[in-house]
Structure 1
C-alpha cells in the first residue's frame, strides 16, 4: 500500500491524469459497515494505521445523525459513501415524520447530510479516483430494500425517481458516465439474486422468514454494466445485519461470488464497536484488489492500539478471512451464483 499518495479530488466526471506507472497494482479498500452512531476519532486513525487506499461507507450512519456525518466528512482519506434508510428515518416515511424529534419546517437533516458529504455521496452518481484507476458507482440512496417500491413521495421529491425502472436507469447511467473501466458498486442494500433463504446476504430474517430482500434496480444496473463490458470486481453493501433475528446459532452469509468473478460483500457487522474484557474493539471489512480483481476479503477487529485481533478466545471480536483467491487464478470460486437479468 502507498498511503502517502495524494488523493484524487474525486469530483464526478473529473479525473486527474497521473502517469500510467503511478497506478498501483494492489489496493487495500476498507468497507465500513452500518455505523449506527458507532464512529469516533479513533476510527479515522485506525484507517490510516491500516494503510488503506480507499474507504467505502455503506450508510446508516444514525437516525439522521448530522453531527456524525459531519465527522465522517472530515476523513482525510479518499472515500465514497452511500446513505441508508436510517439516514432518512424521520423524513422518508409517514411513521418517521410523525415521530420526528425536531421541527422539519425549520430544518432538513436529510439535505444537511447530503450537503456535508457532497460529491463523496455516490447515490445515483459516481466518484472517480483516477490515481486508483477506478470509479465508485452508487445504488439507490436511502434504500429500505425489498420487492416493493417504498417511500414513493420521498424519491419523487428528492430525486425525481418514480419507480424501479427509473431508478435502474439512473444507476446504469451513472455507471455508463463513469470514465474508469473498473467499477465498484456501493449501496446501502445489496442486489437481488443473492439467495432467498433468511441466512443469505440479503435474505429476509423476520417473519414470515425467507425471501430475497435485495434491490432489484441495483441488480439490473449491475447486469447492464457487465453487459457493457466494464469490469466490476466488487459490490459492497450492508443493511442486512450479520446477526440474524430468527436464530443465534449461525450468522448471515457475508459474501458470495458470481460467475463473472464479481465479489458481493455484506459489511453490516453490527455493532461495529464493542466493549470486551480486553477493551474496545472496532471492525472494518478489508478488500484487497490486485490487478483490478478481488484477491482477499477479511473482517478485521482492531484493538485500542489498532492491532488486528487474532485471538480466537475473543469470540465476539475475532478477525476472520472471508475470501481468498490466487492472483493467478482467473476463475473465482462460486460461493453462490447470483441470478442475472
Structure 2
C-alpha cells in the first residue's frame, strides 16, 4: 500500500470496555457485521474467567488485548488469594489466560499491524490504578518488575521496538494527568471523593513515545466505570483530548443490556485517518446486528467524511 493510500485509509477500531463475564457468541458476529478493522480489549474479562478469555482468543479479527485487575482477582492480592475458588498449587488461571491470548496479549509489549500502518503498545497488565505500587509480589514474580520506574521502562522498550510510527496505547487503566475530579476519565469516585487515579508509569511511557517522535492518535482504557459510585446525576467523562491524542475510557458497564425483548451490546467505535482520530461513537447493536443507538462522543474539527 502506498503512503498516499495509507493516508486516505479510514481505519475502523472497536474498543471493547470492561466485559465482566458479559461476552456472547453474538458479540463476535456483531464485530464482523460492523466492518471492524481492529478490535482492542481493555481487560476485566471476569474474575479470572478463563472461558471468557478463550472465547475472546477465538475472535477472528485483528485484535490486541490487555488484562485488568479482575483478571488476577484471586492471584494478585492477599485478600484475593484467601477467596480463591481453586487450588493455586495445581492450577494457574492467570497464566492460562495469558497463554490463551498468546501474542495478542500486549501488556508490557507491542503488536505491529503493518496493513493498518500502526502499532499497539500495551501498558501495565492487571492494573488496579493509582499512585501506590500495589501487589508487589505478583508483579515481581510474573514480570520481574518492582516499581513504577521499571514498569515504565518495559513500556518504553516496547515503544522503541514498534515497527510503525503511529502507535496506540492500550491499557486497563488510563494515565495520570486526565483530571482529578471524580467524573474525569480516571477520577476517583469513592471515599474520599476526588483525585487522579491514573497510572503514572503509563503517563511516563506516553511522554517518552512523544519524545521519540511517535504519533499517538489514541490512548484507550477502561477500569473506571461510566456510572459513578457517589452520584447518579451524571456520568463519567469518556473523552479527554490533548496534543493530537484522544484518550478514551470505554468502560460502559454493563455492556450488554436487556431492552424490552432485545439484548443490546455495546462497543466504542473509533475512526482513525492519517494518524488522527476523526470520530468516536458509542454504539449499541441489537439482536439483528444492526446499530440501534449511536452517540457521537468525539468529533475532530477536520473530520473526513467516508465516501458512500
TM-score range, shorter chain: over 0.9
Q: Do residues 324 (structure 1) and 299 (structure 2) align? A: yes
Q: CA deviation at 1:228?
A: 1.2
What RMSD, in angstroms, separates the aligned Cα atoms of the two structures?
Answer: 1.3
Of 129, 139, 144, the match for 2:113: 129
Q: Do residues 31 (structure 1) and 3 (structure 2) align? A: no
In structure 2, how many angstroms separate the alpha carbons of the residues matched to 1:309 and 1:285?
Answer: 14
Q: Is the 8 A contact 1:198 1:211 kept in 2?
A: yes
Task: Calculate the TM-score normalised by the size of structure 1.
Answer: 0.87
Count of matched residue positions in the alignment of Structure 1 and Structure 2:
303
Q: Is the 8 A contact 2:278 2:303 kept in 1?
A: no
Of 259, 271, 277, the match for 2:254: 271
Of 290, 294, 299, the match for 2:282: 299
In structure 2, how many angstroms separate the alpha carbons of the residues matched to 1:245 and 1:78?
Answer: 34
Q: Is the 8 A contact 2:221 2:249 kept in 1?
A: yes
Q: CA deviation at 1:217?
A: 0.2
1:231-258 CA-to-partner distances (Å, cap 9, x unmatched) read: 0000000000000000001000000101
Task: Calculate the TM-score normalised by the size of structure 2.
Answer: 0.96
Mapping of 1:91-240 within 5 angstroms?
Answer: 91-240=75-224
Q: Is the 8 A contact 1:22 1:131 kept in 2?
A: no
Q: Is the 8 A contact 1:168 1:221 kept in 2?
A: yes
In structure 2, how many angstroms separate the alpha carbons of the residues matched to 1:219 and 1:278?
Answer: 43
Structure 1 gap segments, 5+ residues each? 1-17, 311-318, 330-341
Q: Is the 8 A contact 2:185 2:238 kept in 1?
A: yes
Q: Is the 8 A contact 1:290 1:327 kept in 2?
A: no
Q: CA deviation at 1:176?
A: 1.0
Of 214, 221, 233, the match for 1:249: 233
Q: Is the 8 A contact 1:239 1:268 kept in 2?
A: yes
State the secondary structure of the residue aligned to 1:233. Answer: strand
Q: CA deviation at 1:130?
A: 0.5
Which structure's residues are more often strand, by fraction? Answer: 2
Q: Do residues 77 (structure 1) and 61 (structure 2) align? A: yes
Structure 2 gap segments, 5+ residues each? none
